[in-house]
């Protein structure tokens, strides 16, 4: 099925395999009149690029984006924006050993069962490189949202057992640390933890948090197009995510209503909440507070340690996965989670433009 398209108005369609000619995305429904250059997108792609630190795969990929359509004289025209990133660093030879076997924790087996065949080179469509299209589309979404004063900030909250100290939150550290943690001390500890993982041929997971400021109240639609439901889908659709939380998330199940409800009060004459357990969403609709979400990421399934598995011919074998892999994908996935949140929020903002007769009169009576 057509599983590579997401969104109602801001609709993105990604494509591409790890070792094919390239990857990309078509972004349809971007409003006309936005200033946009390749550099706006490249900045985001560079945040997910491999080969930038000792805790990321040593593969070097330029991942340079080309805008193929949808802009004219530096502005979006309202027509589809097609973005292309050519693959340049494929070492297909690295992967022939796994052509016939089912790597534990990967999608090799399920793709084979679903389609009867698969592009086994580097995971094909299930490779982490698939997120290039997401990030490129997220960069554009974030730029549109910034026009309305909406800002997204994602970061690593934990790697393995090492969590950031919320009281030491340093936003600049997100870009300065190799872990994307907003806490340099925690980051140093995480680096040490990861060095241990690598030396024992193993891998680690972690938690990514994304907060969104400046969101007007009223975004999201009741029942199935709730903002939290769509955020959950968007974030869970990223490979390796196994849990999604909104606001206080799993903690709410052990609370009392009297602890968990956020009281409304006035601040400077505006209605506001005195706490934000809800994470900025009530009844699936943004309430004007900061939106907060978390994604729990599993450890990289590709490890050097030997593992039991089965091959396509139905034989039990043991494999040791060679190649260039991240010991943890969390730092590079931070921008992916931020992008998915931006895409989802922008779609809700665009859809909401037609929710009220008075909104429409602002447009059609001008």
List binders of its own copies among 90-109 (CB under 8 A).
102, 104-107, 109
List binders of its own copies among 20-59 (CB under 8 A).
20-24, 26, 28-29, 31-34
List binders of its own copies among 141-180 (CB under 8 A).
144, 147-148, 158, 160-161
Distance of closest approach, residue 65 Cβ to its own copies, in angstroms = 12
Kindly tell me which residue out of 230, 332, 334, 341 binds its own copies, with binding defined by CB under 8 A.
Answer: 230
**Closer residue to its own copies (CB): 93 or 314:** 314
Distances in whole angstroms, Cα of residue 349 to Cα of each of 144, 226, 247, 363: 10, 12, 20, 15
What CA–CA distance (Å, rounded) separates 82 from 68? 5
List binders of its own copies among 259-278 (CB under 8 A).
259-266, 269, 271, 274, 278
Kindly tell me which residue out of 41, 44, 95, 124 binds its own copies, with binding defined by CB under 8 A.
Answer: 124
Distance of closest approach, residue 248 Cβ to its own copies, in angstroms = 7
List binders of its own copies among 231-250 (CB under 8 A).
231-237, 239, 242-250
What CA–CA distance (Å, rounded) separates 217 from 30? 22
Cα 147 off chain centre by: 21
Cα 285 off chain centre by: 21
Phi first, then psi, for residue 280 (nearest 5°) are 85, 10
Distances in whole angstroms, Cα of residue 332 to Cα of each of 38, 57, 175, 193, 206: 20, 10, 11, 17, 12
3-state secondary structure (DSSP) of residue 11? strand
List binders of its own copies among 319-338 (CB under 8 A).
none
Kindly tell me which residue out of 39, 167, 268, 316 binds its own copies, with binding defined by CB under 8 A.
Answer: 316
- 138 near its own copies, rule: CB under 8 A: no
Contact window for its own copies (CB under 8 A) among 6-14, 42-50, 51-59, 177-185: 6-14
**Closer residue to its own copies (CB): 61 or 228:** 228
Task: Dig out the tokens for 242 from the structure.
Answer: 């196994």
Distance of closest approach, residue 36 Cβ to its own copies, in angstroms = 11
Contact window for its own copies (CB under 8 A) among 40-48, 55-63, 166-174, 198-206: 198-206
Cα 292 off chain centre by: 14
- Contact partners, residue 358, CB within 8 Å, separation at least 6: none
Neighbouring CB atoms inside 10 A of 147's CB total 11
Kindly tell me which residue out of 47, 59, 129, 296 binds its own copies, with binding defined by CB under 8 A.
Answer: 296
């Amino acid at each position: 099925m057509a599983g590579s398209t997401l969104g109602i108005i801001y609709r993105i369609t990604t494509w591409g395999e790890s070792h094919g000619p390239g990857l990309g995305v078509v972004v349809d429904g971007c409003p006309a009149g936005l200033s946009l250059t390749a550099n706006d997108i490249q900045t985001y792609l560079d945040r997910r690029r491999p080969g930038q630190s000792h805790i990321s795969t040593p593969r070097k990929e330029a991942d340079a984006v080309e805008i193929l359509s949808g802009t004219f004289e530096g502005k979006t025209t309202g027509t589809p924006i097609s973005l292309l990133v050519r693959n340049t660093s494929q070492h297909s030879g690295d992967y022939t050993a796994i052509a016939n076997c089912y790597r534990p924790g990967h999608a090799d087996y399920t793709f084979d069962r679903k389609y009867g065949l698969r592009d086994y080179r580097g995971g094909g469509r299930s490779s982490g490189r698939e997120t290039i299209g997401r990030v490129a589309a997220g960069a554009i979404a974030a730029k549109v949202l910034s026009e309305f004063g909406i800002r997204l900030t994602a970061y690593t909250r934990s790697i393995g057992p090492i969590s950031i100290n919320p009281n030491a939150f340093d936003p600049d550290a997100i870009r300065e640390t190799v872990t994307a943690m907003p806490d340099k001390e925690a980051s140093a500890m995480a680096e040490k933890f990861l060095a241990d993982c690598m030396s024992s041929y193993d891998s680690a997971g972690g938690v990514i948090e994304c907060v969104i400021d400046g969101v007007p109240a009223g975004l999201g639609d009741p029942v199935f197009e709730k903002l939290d439901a769509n955020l959950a889908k968007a974030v869970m659709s990223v490979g390796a995510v196994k849990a999604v939380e909104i606001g206080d998330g799993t903690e709410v199940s052990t609370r009392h209503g009297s602890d968990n409800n956020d009281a409304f009060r006035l601040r400077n004459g505006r209605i506001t909440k005195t706490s934000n357990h809800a994470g900025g969403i009530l009844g699936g609709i943004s309430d004007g507070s900061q939106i907060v979400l978390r994604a729990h990421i599993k450890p990289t399934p590709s490890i050097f340690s030997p593992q039991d598995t089965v091959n396509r011919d139905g034989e039990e074998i043991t494999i040791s996965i060679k190649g260039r892999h991240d010991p943890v994908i969390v730092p590079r996935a931070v921008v992916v989670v931020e992008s998915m949140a931006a895409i989802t929020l922008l779609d809700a903002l665009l859809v909401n433009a037609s929710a009220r007769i008075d909104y429409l009169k602002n447009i059609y009576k001008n």
